[in-house]
Amino acid sequence: MLKIITIDSSDYLKIRTDDPLFAYGMALFETIAIERGQLFFWRRHWERLVHSAQFLGFGEILSNEQKAVLSAIKSFYHGASKQTSILKLCLFQSQEELNLIIYPREPFECTRSKHLCLNEAYPINERSVISGFKTHNYFENIHLLKDAREKGFYDYLRINCRGELAETTISNLFLKINDRYITPTLDSGALPGVIRSVLLESDLFLESVISLEDLKQADAFYIMNSVQGIVAIDRVSNWHNEIVFDIGSYVDDSMPILAGHLRTLEQLEAISL
């Protein structure tokens, strides 16, 4: 049985100190965009959450609760004066039961600069047991994001332990090289992002191991997640302030096709609240 809890930004949640969520960050989460009463890519978010829950041993319970969760989201949205634009789900196993918290999340503040910094000091462990899962073990990601933005960067570009490009602290990435768009494979340690999954359905898009040399040869560079959508990156520099990618005067004529594909599927798969 799943216990569904809805809270707004002014509410509090009572939790025991020995609860695995509080004590160890043992929880999964999904962040979903809402626009004009439309919940975007619900099916993909839900399937990813169920898949992750199966890894942790309670996916069977969750898989039968989709209707109840959607009903709770709709009630919460209308009760929150329809102001919510980012919805967050937190799934965790307490001492007594499986819990799902539904609550609003404020957007992250962004810099105007679309400048990434290549962070080779703190690589992603692509062989971590939680690699590829959105868990509340998110301290490293948020710490690095905060550090990057305090230094004036949009985000850090992260590599894995093999020196391959993986993702940023909160986004998937893709490059345009020789008229093809490529994104790191999941073996890189990258998260299986929802927008990433949508774009991979296009014939222009494929998965590949991406090296730093590939980055230097790229014509265009993009990052993506469910909240910000697709963001074009202007340049990437390293710790020594050396430019390793610069968009320069390049104009990507194919990008409107991908953006259109994304927007079409966004509308087709949206759930009306």
Same domain, 134 and 46: no
Residue 84 has pLDDT above 90, yes or no: no
Residue 12 has pLDDT above 90, yes or no: no
Neighbours of 194 (CB within 10 A): 24
- Inside any domain, residue 270: no
Same domain, 23 and 148: no
Under a CB-based contact definition with an 8 Å cutoff, are residues 67 and 16 in contact? Answer: no
Neighbours of 152 (CB within 10 A): 11
Same domain, 130 and 257: yes
Who has greater pLDDT, 258 or 68?
68
Q: What is the DSSP string of 249-272?
A: T---TTHHHHHHHHHHHHHHT-EE
Question: Last residue of a domain, which of 104, 129, 144?
Answer: 104
For position 72, which CATH number holds? 3.30.470.10
pLDDT at 81: 64
Residue 118 has pLDDT above 70, yes or no: yes
Which range has the worst mean pLDDT, 36-50, 59-73, 144-158, 225-239? Answer: 59-73
Q: Where are the alpha helices (DSSP H) in the chain?
A: 20-24, 42-56, 59-63, 66-79, 139-150, 194-199, 212-217, 255-268
Over range 126-138, report the average pLDDT.
Answer: 94
Same domain, 31 and 59: yes
Question: Last residue of a domain, which of 104, 129, 152?
Answer: 104
Same domain, 151 and 255: yes
Residue 14 has pLDDT above 90, yes or no: no
Residue 225 has pLDDT above 80, yes or no: yes
- Inside any domain, residue 139: yes
- Inside any domain, residue 269: no
pLDDT at 180: 93
Over range 1-13, report the average pLDDT.
Answer: 88
Same domain, 100 and 122: no
Under a CB-based contact definition with an 8 Å cutoff, are residues 117 and 239 in contact? Answer: yes
- Inside any domain, residue 273: no
Q: In degrees to the nearest 10, what's the CA dihedral of 212, 213, 214, 215?
A: 50
Largest CA distance in the chain: 58
Q: Based on the structure, what is the number of domains in the chain?
A: 2
pLDDT at 107: 80
Question: Last residue of a domain, which of 104, 124, 143?
Answer: 104
Closest CA to 266 of 198, 178, 182, 179: 198
**Residue 101 in tokens:** 């918290």
Who has greater pLDDT, 91 or 63?
91
Same domain, 151 and 250: yes
Residue 55 has pLDDT above 90, yes or no: no
For position 156, which CATH number holds? 3.20.10.10
Under a CB-based contact definition with an 8 Å cutoff, are residues 265 and 42 in contact? Answer: no
- Inside any domain, residue 87: yes
Domain region containing 211: 115-264
